[in-house]
């Protein structure tokens, strides 16, 4: 399928929503990233378990948890939806502001993002997305490496920057900073 490109060679959300629904893409600053191949079964098992733990914790609370595919549109200041050049599909997001949630996903930074890396996404998740989430004000960002059984947690500090990552292993229980009381058991 031929897709139009803007004059500045950057894709926008207006183009993104015209692409085939059976394909998964992300846009980061107007550059398109193919989300294939499908995640591994290990990736999906970790995703389901984490999402279930978070979902149980959030029952009857204002914050909501969503799993990929779920579009998170990250506008620059006052961009309308059609002009947005960044649309990502994090593995797990928690959004505590109901005004950010609409029928197309989330507009604005989630409070909490979890990415489970795979060989094809490791660099993007650990570098580009970390910088992107920091720039847009995601309060807490977890990166899970299912191949080393390690998790890296970054929390936004008062200067709006992610501090030094804390590293955890599968034997640990992690307390979420942005969701006080949420304790994730990694050994599950």
Intra-chain end-to-end CA distance of the chain, in Å: 42
Q: How many domains does the chain divide into?
A: 1
Minimum mean pLDDT range among 30-34, 90-94, 96-100, 138-142: 30-34
State pLDDT tens for residues 110-120: 999 999 998 77
CA dist 139 → 8, 43, 96 (Å): 31, 23, 11
pTM (two decimals): 0.91
pLDDT-above-70 percentage for the chain: 95
Cβ–Cβ under 8 Å, residues 37 and 120: yes
**What confidence score (pLDDT) does residue 188 get?**
66
Cβ–Cβ under 8 Å, residues 137 and 125: no
* 20, part of any domain: no
Mean pLDDT across 36-58: 91
Q: Residue 124: name the closest of 32, 7, 51 by CA.
A: 32
* 127, part of any domain: yes
Cα–Cα distance, 77 to 135 (Å, whole number): 12
> CB under 8 Å to 21, separation ≥6 — which residues?
none
DSSP secondary structure letter of residue 165: P
* 128, part of any domain: yes
Cα–Cα distance, 48 to 44 (Å, whole number): 6
Joined together, the tokens standing for residue 9 give: 């060679």
* 19, part of any domain: no
* 90, part of any domain: yes
Boundaries of domain holding 49: 37-185
State pLDDT tens for residues 55-105: 999 999 999 999 999 999 999 988 889 999 999 999 999 999 999 999 999
* 43, part of any domain: yes
CATH code, 180? 3.90.1570.10
Minimum mean pLDDT range among 17-21, 35-39, 109-113: 35-39
* 174, part of any domain: yes
Assess whether pLDDT exceeds 60 at residue 4.
no
């Amino acid at each position: 399928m031929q897709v139009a490109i803007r004059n500045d060679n950057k894709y926008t959300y207006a183009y993104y929503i015209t692409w085939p629904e059976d394909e998964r893409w992300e846009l980061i600053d107007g550059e398109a990233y193919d989300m294939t191949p499908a995640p591994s079964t290990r990736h999906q098992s970790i995703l389901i378990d984490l999402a279930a733990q978070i979902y149980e914790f959030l029952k009857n609370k204002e914050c909501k948890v969503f799993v990929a595919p779920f579009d998170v549109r990250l506008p620059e200041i006052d961009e309308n939806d059609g002009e947005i050049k960044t649309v990502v599909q994090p593995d797990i997001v928690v959004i505590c502001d109901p005004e950010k949630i609409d029928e197309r996903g989330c507009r604005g930074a989630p409070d909490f993002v979890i990415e489970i890396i795979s060989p094809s996404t490791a660099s993007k998740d650990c570098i580009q997305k970390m910088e992107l989430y920091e720039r847009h004000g995601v309060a807490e960002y977890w990166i899970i490496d299912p191949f080393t059984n390690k998790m890296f947690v970054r929390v936004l500090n008062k200067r709006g920057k992610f501090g030094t990552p804390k590293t955890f292993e599968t034997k640990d229980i992690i307390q979420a900073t942005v969701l006080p009381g949420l304790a994730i058991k990694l050994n599950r």
